[in-house]
C-alpha cells in the first residue's frame, strides 16, 4: 500500500468514526436504526476526502475541515436514499436499500433526518466563514435536486442530447464534488484564485466520475461493481454511451437503441442477451472508446486546474485521487 493509499484509508476511517457518533436517538427505533444503517454502509468517501484535501491544499488542516467533510458525506447519503426510492432500487452497496428493508415512508423520513444532521454537523465547523459555507452547501443541495429532476425528466424523453446530458451530470454528480472542493478552500482560507481552481477541479472530477460510472455499467466485473452489470441499459438510462450510440447507430442497431430510449419492456429471459447486444453496438460504433477518452480528458482538465495551486503534498494527493478514480473498477 502506497503512502497516499494509507492516507486515503485514514480519511475514510476518520469520517466513518465521526458518522457513527452522530445518530444518538433511540425512539422511534425504526427511524434511527435506519439512519445508522445508511451511515454505516461504507462507500468511497470521495466528497469528504476532496473537501479535506482541498483545505490542506490551501494551507488549512484536516481537523478544521472534518466536520464539513462529514456533513457533505451525510448530504450525499441523503440524496442516495431518496434516489433509490425514485428508482425503486433493490440494493445499494451490496445491501438492501432503506425503502426495501423498511418501507418508503420510513425511508423518506430517514432522508429528512440525515439532511438535518448534515446541517447540524456543518455548523460545528470552526474558524471559517460559516455563512458562506452554508450558502455553498445549500446551493450544492439545490443543484443536486435539479440534476435529479433532469434525470427523471430525461426518462420520459427520446430526444436528449449529449450536451443536455453533461448539464445534468454537472448538477447531479459534479456539483457536489465541486462544492466539496470549494468548501475546503474556504475553510483553509484560500485565495480567490485557489478557490476557483479547486472548484474547477471538482467540476471536472465529477464529470469524469459519472462518465466512468457509465462505462463500468457495461464493462465492469459484477463482483467488483457491486450491482447488476447493464442496469443502465435495462432501465433506459440516458447515459453518455446510449446517447452517442443513438447518434451513430444504423439499421437494426438503431432499432435496438431506439427501443431502449423508449424504455420498451424487456422480459427477464431476454435481459442478458440485450445487454450483450447493446454492449456490442457500443463497441462497434466506437462509443466505448470515446467514453474512455472523455474520462481521460475530463480527468486531465481536473488535474490541470491543480497547477494553479502551491505544490503541497495535499495538492499532489488530489492529483493521485483523480488518477485513481479514472482507473477504478467499481
Q: Note the pLDDT tens digit of each residue in 102-124.
A: 888 988 998 999 999 999 999 99
Q: Which pLDDT score, from 0 to 100, does residue 25 have?
A: 75
Rounded mean pLDDT of the chain?
91
How many CB atoms are located within 10 Å of the residue 132 CB? Answer: 13
Share of residues in the chain with pLDDT > 90 (%): 70
pLDDT one-digit tens code per residue, 70-83: 999 999 999 998 98
With bands split at pLDDT 50, 70 and 90, how would you rate the model's confidence at 222?
Answer: low
Q: Which residue has the higher pLDDT, 225 or 210?
A: 210
Cα separation, 248 vs 286, in Å, equals 9
Antiparallel, parallel or unpaired: β 95-96 and 91-92? antiparallel
pLDDT one-digit tens code per residue, 133-177: 999 999 999 999 999 999 999 988 889 999 999 999 999 988 999
Domains and CATH numbers, the chain: 3-323 (1.10.600.10)
Using a CB cutoff of 8 Å and minimum separation of 24, what contacts does 240-244 make?
240/162, 240/165, 240/211, 240/214, 240/291, 240/294, 241/214, 241/215, 241/217, 241/282, 241/287, 241/288, 241/291, 243/160, 243/161, 243/162, 243/165, 244/162, 244/285, 244/287, 244/290, 244/291
Q: Which pLDDT score, from 0 to 100, does residue 224 have?
A: 64
Q: Which pLDDT score, from 0 to 100, does residue 130 have?
A: 93
DSSP letters for 62-122: HHHHHHHHHHHHHHHHHHHHHHHHHHT-SEETTEE-HHHHS-HHHHHHHHHHHHHHHHHHH
pTM for the model:
0.93
Mean pLDDT over 249-265 rounds to 91
Cα separation, 278 vs 2, in Å, equals 38
C-alpha cell at 265: 419492456
Cα separation, 113 vs 288, in Å, equals 40
Rounded to an integer, what is the distance from CA 69 to the centroid of its chain? 15
For residue 155, count CB atoms less than 10 angstroms from its CB and return exposed for 0-12, middle for 13-18, buried for 19 or more: middle
What are the b/e assignments for 252-265, b being 16+ CB within 10 Å?
A: ebeebbeebbeeee
For residue 3, count CB atoms less than 10 angstroms from its CB and return exposed for 0-12, middle for 13-18, buried for 19 or more: exposed
Cα separation, 297 vs 46, in Å, equals 20
With bands split at pLDDT 50, 70 and 90, how would you rate the model's confidence at 9?
Answer: very high
Instruction: For the chain, state the CA radius of gyration.
Output: 20
Cβ 30 vs Cβ 102: under 8 Å: yes
Q: Give whole-number Cα distances, 145 to 33, 61, 112, 238, 317, in Å.
A: 26, 30, 14, 17, 30
Q: Which pLDDT score, from 0 to 100, does residue 37 have?
A: 87
Cβ 264 vs Cβ 282: under 8 Å: no
**Residue 269 in this model has a pLDDT that exceeds 90:** no
Q: Which pLDDT score, from 0 to 100, does residue 315 have?
A: 97
DSSP letters for 234-261: HHT---HHHHHHHHH--HHHHHHHHHHH
Cβ 225 vs Cβ 330: under 8 Å: yes
For residue 96, the cross-strand partners are 91
Mean pLDDT over 187-211 rounds to 96
How many CB atoms are located within 10 Å of the residue 274 CB? Answer: 17
pLDDT one-digit tens code per residue, 16-43: 999 989 888 778 888 888 889 888 888 8
Amino acid at each position: 500500500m502506497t503512502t497516499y493509499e494509507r492516507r486515503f484509508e485514514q480519511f475514510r476511517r476518520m469520517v466513518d468514526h465521526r458518522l457513527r457518533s452522530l445518530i444518538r436517538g433511540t425512539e422511534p427505533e425504526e427511524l434511527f436504526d435506519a439512519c445508522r444503517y445508511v451511515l454505516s454502509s461504507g462507500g468511497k468517501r470521495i466528497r469528504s476526502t476532496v473537501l479535506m484535501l482541498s483545505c490542506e491544499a490551501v494551507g488549512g488542516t484536516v481537523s478544521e475541515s472534518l466536520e464539513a467533510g462529514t456533513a457533505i458525506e451525510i448530504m450525499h447519503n441523503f440524496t442516495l436514499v431518496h434516489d433509490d426510492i425514485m428508482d425503486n432500487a433493490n440494493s445499494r452497496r451490496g445491501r438492501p436499500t432503506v425503502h426495501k428493508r423498511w418501507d418508503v415512508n420510513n425511508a423518506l423520513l430517514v432522508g429528512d433526518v440525515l439532511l438535518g444532521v448534515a446541517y447540524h454537523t456543518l455548523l460545528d465547523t470552526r474558524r471559517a466563514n460559516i455563512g458562506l459555507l452554508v450558502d455553498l452547501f445549500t446551493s450544492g443541495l439545490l443543484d443536486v435536486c435539479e440534476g435529479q429532476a433532469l434525470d427523471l425528466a430525461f426518462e420520459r424523453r427520446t430526444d436528449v442530447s449529449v450536451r443536455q446530458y453533461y448539464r445534468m451530470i454537472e448538477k447531479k454528480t459534479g456539483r457536489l464534488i465541486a462544492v466539496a472542493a470549494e468548501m475546503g478552500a474556504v475553510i483553509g482560507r484560500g485565495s480567490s484564485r485557489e478557490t476557483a481552481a479547486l472548484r474547477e477541479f471538482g467540476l471536472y472530477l465529477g464529470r469524469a466520475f459519472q462518465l466512468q460510472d457509465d462505462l463500468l455499467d457495461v464493462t465492469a466485473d459484477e463482483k467488483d461493481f457491486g450491482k447488476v452489470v447493464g442496469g443502465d441499459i435495462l432501465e433506459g438510462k440516458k447515459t453518455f454511451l446510449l446517447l452517442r450510440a443513438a447518434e451513430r447507430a444504423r439499421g437494426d442497431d438503431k432499432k435496438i437503441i431506439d427501443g431502449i430510449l423508449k424504455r420498451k419492456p424487456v422480459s427477464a429471459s431476454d435481459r442478458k442477451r440485450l445487454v450483450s447486444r447493446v454492449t456490442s453496438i457500443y463497441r462497434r460504433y466506437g462509443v466505448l472508446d470515446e467514453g474512455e477518452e472523455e474520462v481521460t480528458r475530463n480527468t486531465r482538465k481536473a488535474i490541470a486546474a491543480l497547477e494553479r495551486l502551491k505544490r503541497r503534498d495535499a495538492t499532489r494527493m488530489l492529483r493521485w485521487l483523480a488518477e485513481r478514480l479514472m482507473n477504478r473498477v467499481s
